[in-house]
Amino acid sequence: MRLKDILENKYNKLVIVIFGAGSSGQIVRNQLDKGINVLFCDNDEKKFGSFIHDSEVISPEELKNLNQKQKDIRIIIASEWYAEIYNQLNKMGLISIVINSNTDITLLMKNNYSKEILDKNKLSSLIYNEKLFCCDGCLDYRINDGPDIEKYDAVLGKEECFCSIHKWSKIKGWLLPSEALAIQRVVKMLKPQSKLVEVGSYHGKSTVIIGSVLPKDSILFSVDNFSLNYEADDNSYYFYRENIQKYNLEEKIGLLAMDSSIASQIFNDELLDLVFIDGQHDFKSVYDYISEWYPKIKNNGFLLCHDYSANWPGVKQAIEAHKLDGFLIGPTVFLHSKQRKD
């Protein structure tokens, strides 16, 4: 397939653009149905205009122009530089799905997500068979990919959708909407009476994101000593309490305002269903967090770590030092499922 043919309207069907013209991209291409219209995109100028099988490699600028003229387009990132590419595309106003590893690709194909990607009305999590979005408002937000709150409220038209973007997008924090929704998808899979821990709460953004979709009779413990304030008038403990009260989560949240090393001693081993780590990002801190909390996770429980990317090498190095396998469920959210080794 050539870009020229698409622009000349020789193809009116959906076009898949695989960003990453390396081995991972080729694996993704091989897994997609042969009848699908596919182009590659890459940042390497040497690859522009070349072909992988019958699919042309285009530049990011050509991708941007294509997106403006082709209404039905899907972009899949298949590159180790997933975080940088995701941000690059986001700045260009382009939506993308991240496939970071062969593990992701295997899961993608095992769960038949190639069909999900092709249908804009069924955009789903790459990891789980259930829909990522609880309502049409969430789906509309993800497709249009932007914090246009007034438009989103108009589409949603109701306040009871607790995982809606406008509920927690205003809370100060660093989770991207796609990351937050992916985390919620994992939380929704847990059984009633689950016990969860988040390490690092700040103003409570992740607390509200997780706490708002807790299974019945479950509890989230927030662990933070609230010593980090990024601005002179930033009282993180005050804003955390304010947000928990504002979103009526007081009965679902247990606050442990203390160091992680102390809080971890409160819990018995193999007690927790999920631990989400988003505290300090240096290697030693993240390594210690995992050392402290991993034994507390049940068999088949989940460990999630935020900011697994080249921008935060300490996070990646600490996870690798613990030899934890896993994959991304968002641009920088790492997911590991604990399996007991007998």
CA distance 36 to 24: 18
pLDDT band for position 130 (50/70/90)?
very low
Cα angle value 256/308/216 (rounded, 5°): 45
Domains of the chain: 3-122 (3.40.50.720), 172-337 (3.40.50.150)
* Alpha-carbon Rg for the chain in angstroms: 21
Average pLDDT, the chain: 76
Question: Higher pLDDT residue, 7 or 245?
Answer: 245
pTM of the model: 0.58
pLDDT band for position 116 (50/70/90)?
very low
pLDDT for position 105 = 42
Residue 231 backbone phi and psi in degrees, to 5: -135, 160
User: Which ranges constitute the DSSP H helices of the chain?
Assistant: 3-7, 23-31, 60-69, 82-91, 102-110, 113-118, 136-144, 149-156, 165-168, 177-188, 205-211, 236-246, 260-263, 283-293, 313-321
The model's pLDDT over 1-54, given as tens digits with 9 standing for 90+, comes to 566 665 555 555 678 888 889 877 887 777 666 677 889 999 999 999 999 888
Residue 99, classed as helix, strand or coil, is coil
Q: Which of 307, 317, 260 is nearest to 83 (CA)?
A: 307
CA distance 3 to 197: 48
222 in Cβ contact with 202 (< 8 Å) = no
CA distance 148 to 47: 36
Q: Which residues pair with 33 in a beta bridge?
A: none
The model's pLDDT over 251-280, given as tens digits with 9 standing for 90+, comes to 999 999 999 999 999 999 999 999 999 999
Highest-confidence segment of 20-29, 237-246, 283-292 = 283-292
The string of DSSP codes covering 258-269 is S-HHHHGGGSPT
> H or E stretch including 223?
strand 219-223
List the single range of 81-85, 212-216, 222-226, 239-243 with lowest mean pLDDT.
81-85
Instruction: For residue 47, count other CB atoms closer than 10 A to its CB.
Output: 18
pLDDT for position 78 = 76
CA distance 135 to 147: 17
Q: Which residue has the tokens 């505290």?
A: 279
